[in-house]
């Protein structure tokens, strides 16, 4: 890229400089020739006025004036008869008078009336005027050697070429520096991206002085952070899942061995041990189902199968499932459920939502092991408000943004006796979003959390 940029910059500047140089060349020669014509015409007009009508008595004065011009202006001046005989001249011509006259004659085509003409011969720019001197028609010829003009033009042109070459060299250097400054940050970014691709998320995309590249760096840093988060989540999930799978498996194996070797003949013990095996197998099934469900739900594989059902009875049914916790682990459920509320939703999926939310309340509630479940009718809003409250340590504002993410689990999740996969709330979110139901969490640190879902209220018999 750097070479390409450099090449383009260089070609562009060479083109510009060449065009400017060519234009300067043209302007310079035409400006010089115009200037020379003006000069020669001024000299010629001045001399014509001075010499015209003079008699031979003024020959000395005329010669003096002609010499003065010749000296100061670098021109040759000659006064010729119309037959070509030179009367007065300032310099012997390099060729003979005859050829000068021949050139003059072919240019003026033999005119004798008073006029003036500028013409150029091989190496001279000539001004000729027809005047009267010593009572006879004469030609006053002012000759300006072109080589003087050409020399100035040439030296100016040489300067232009030198300046152009220097400018091109400078342009080459500047374009090299520029190309490097543009391409270096891009090269750096691509190097950093390669390191990131190899799994190093500690890399930082450096900012650059060009706004667009700085923006690109910023976006890549953002993308990197997001990828890192997702990678961390996945790693954590793998760690959690393998940990969670291993625990029930170890228990199943341990209790199966116990049944085989110790309690096989004792029906009471055997019964107890077999129950542990069944419970742990159930836990395993639940865990695997959670993982499968999350990927299925988020992949959009499962369609919604909406129908009207009695939410009140449905909720009581779910609460019954938690009864065993009340009996075995000292949990206290406070239930406030309005009777006969109907909603329209996918029953099976709503089961997952409510079950997950109550499970979380059980898992995260405080030492008092209290969980409050309510289902309230709000006819004026046409809604049924479901809420489940716990007395746990609550969820911080920062954490609130993440709890609905896939695989998110709070850092101290492993410290709790009941472990989850970090998928539960993600499943809840996907299902409720698919239904377009309002849901969320209100929580205060130290006071517990309330998760809520607003269901639409419908009459018990669906309208046909
Ligand atoms: P998990 O299997 O870890 O419970 P969830 O997706 O159900 O996964 O929850 C994600 C995270 O949200 C939990 O790890 C926890 O940090 C937080 N969380 C969920 N419910 C509660 C709650 N009732 N009280 C406090 N924190 C909660």
pLDDT of residue 404: 87
If you take atom 4 of ligand 1, which residue's CA is the nearest one?
420
Q: What is the pTM of this model?
A: 0.47
Query: Hey, which bits of 244-349 come out as E strands?
Result: 306-310, 332-337, 342-346
Mean pLDDT of the chain: 84
Judge whether 131 and 51 are in contact, CB under 8 Å: yes
Q: Report how far ligand 1's centroid is from the alpha carbon of 339 (Å).
A: 29
Residue pLDDT, tens place only, 255-308:
898 888 887 788 888 888 898 899 889 878 877 877 776 666 665 556 788 999
Pick the CATH number of 2-151 from 3.30.450.20, 3.40.50.300, 3.90.1150.10, 1.20.1560.10: 3.30.450.20
Residue to probe by mutation, ligand 1, list 360, 369, 396, most atoms within 8 Å of CB: 360
From CA 449, how far away is CA 191, in angstroms rounded?
Answer: 46
Q: Are 79 and 64 in contact (CB under 8 A)?
A: no
Which run of H or of E encompasses 446? Answer: none
pLDDT for the residue numbered 414: 40
Report the distance separating Cα 139 and Cα 459, nearest Å: 125
More confident residue, 115 or 240: 115
125 pLDDT more than 80: yes
C-beta 293 within 6 A of ligand 1: no
* CB neighbour list of residue 181: distance below 8 Å, 6 or more residues apart: 209
Q: Is 424 in the pocket of ligand 1 (CB under 6 A)?
A: yes
Domain with CATH 3.30.565.10 in the chain: 303-456
Among 108-117, 118-127, 243-252, 424-433, the range scoring the smallest mean pLDDT is: 108-117
For residue 389, give Cα distances in angstroms to 148, 150, 365. 106, 102, 8
Q: Is the CB of 449 under 6 A from ligand 1?
A: yes
Q: What average pLDDT does the segment 86-111 reach?
A: 78
Q: Are 153 and 28 in contact (CB under 8 A)?
A: yes
Among the ranges 221-235, 313-327, 350-364, which has the highest mean pLDDT value?
Answer: 350-364
CATH number for the segment(s) 303-456: 3.30.565.10
Using DSSP's 3-state secondary structure scheme, residue 59 falls into helix
| The CATH fold of domain 211-296 | Helix Hairpins (1.10.287)
Q: What DSSP line would sit under 124-192, residue for residue?
A: EEEEEEEEEETTEEEEEEEEEEHHHHHHHHHHHHHHHHHHHHHHHHHHHHHHHHHHHHHHHHHHHHHHH
Where would I find the beta strands (DSSP E) of 3-135? Answer: 76-81, 86-89, 116-120, 124-133
Highest mean pLDDT among 198-212, 290-304, 339-353, 421-435: 339-353
From the CB of 390, is ligand 1 less than 6 Å away? yes
What confidence score (pLDDT) does residue 246 get? 78
394 secondary structure, DSSP code: -
Q: Which helix (H) or strand (E) holds 281?
A: helix 267-298
How far is CA 23 from each of CA 17, 19, 20, 157, 171, rounded to the nearest angstrom?
Answer: 10, 6, 5, 11, 19
Task: Assign 383 a pLDDT band (cuts: 50, 70, 90).
Answer: very high
Which among 425, 451, 430, 417 is positioned nearest to 356, based on CA atoms? 425
Residue 416 confidence (pLDDT)? 45
Domain span(s) for CATH 3.30.450.20 in the chain: 2-151
pLDDT of residue 251: 83
Ligand 1 neighbour 422 (Cβ under 6 A):
yes
**In the structure encoding, which two tokens stand for residue 130, read together?**
């027809």
Within the chain, all domains assigned CATH 1.10.287.130 are found at: 211-296
Question: What pLDDT does 415 receive?
Answer: 38
């Amino acid at each position: 890229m750097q070479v390409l940029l450099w090449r383009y910059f260089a070609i562009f500047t060479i083109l510009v400089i060449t065009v400017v140089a060519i234009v300067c060349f043209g302007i310079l020669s035409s400006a010089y020739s115009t200037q020379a014509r003006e000069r020669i015409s001024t000299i010629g007009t001045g001399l014509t006025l001075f010499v015209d009508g003079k008699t031979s008595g003024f020959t000395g004065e005329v010669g003096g004036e002609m010499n003065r011009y010749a000296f100061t202006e670098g021109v040759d001046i000659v006064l010729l008869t119309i037959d070509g005989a030179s009367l007065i001249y300032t310099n012997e011509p390099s060729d003979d008078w005859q050829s000068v006259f021949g050139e003059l004659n072919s240019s003026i085509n033999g005119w004798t009336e008073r006029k003036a003409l500028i013409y150029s011969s091989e190496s001279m720019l000539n001004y000729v005027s027809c005047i009267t001197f010593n009572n006879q028609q004469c030609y006053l010829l002012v000759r300006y050697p072109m080589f003087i003009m050409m020399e100035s033009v040439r030296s100016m042109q040489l300067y232009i070429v030198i300046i152009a070459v220097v400018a091109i060299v400078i342009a080459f250097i500047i374009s090299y520096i520029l190309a490097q400054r543009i391409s270096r940050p891009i090269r750096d970014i691509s190097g950093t991206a390669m390191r990131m691709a190899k799994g190093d998320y500690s890399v930082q995309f450096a900012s650059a002085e060009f706004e667009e590249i700085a923006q690109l760096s910023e976006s890549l840093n953002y993308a990197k952070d997001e990828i890192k988060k997702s990678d961390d989540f996945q790693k954590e999930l793998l760690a959690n899942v393998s940990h969670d799978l291993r625990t029930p498996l170890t228990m199943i194996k341990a209790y199966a061995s116990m049944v085989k070797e110790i309690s096989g003949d004792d029906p009471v013990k055997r019964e107890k041990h077999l129950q542990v095996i069944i419970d742990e197998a159930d836990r395993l099934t639940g865990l695997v189902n959670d993982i499968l469900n999350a990927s299925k739900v988020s992949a959009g594989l499962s369609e919604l199968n909406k129908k009207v059902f009695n939410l009140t009875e449905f909720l009581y049914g779910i609460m019954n499932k938690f009864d065993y916790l009340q009996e075995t682990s000292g949990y206290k459920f406070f239930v406030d459920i309005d009777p006969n509320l109907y909603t329209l939703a996918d029953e099976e999926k709503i089961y997952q939502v409510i079950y997950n939310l109550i499970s979380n309340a059980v898992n995260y509630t405080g030492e008092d092991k209290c969980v409050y479940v309510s289902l309230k009718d709000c006819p004026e809003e046409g809604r049924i408000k479901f809420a489940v409250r716990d007395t746990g340590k609550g969820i911080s504002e920062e954490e609130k943004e993440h709890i609905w993410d896939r695989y998110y689990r709070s850092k101290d999740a492993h410290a709790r006796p009941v472990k989850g996969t970090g998928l539960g709330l993600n499943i809840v979110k996907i299902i409720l979003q698919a239904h377009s139901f309002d849901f969320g969490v209100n929580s205060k640190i130290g006071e517990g959390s309330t998760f809520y879902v607003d269901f639409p209220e419908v009459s018990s018999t669906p309208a046909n």
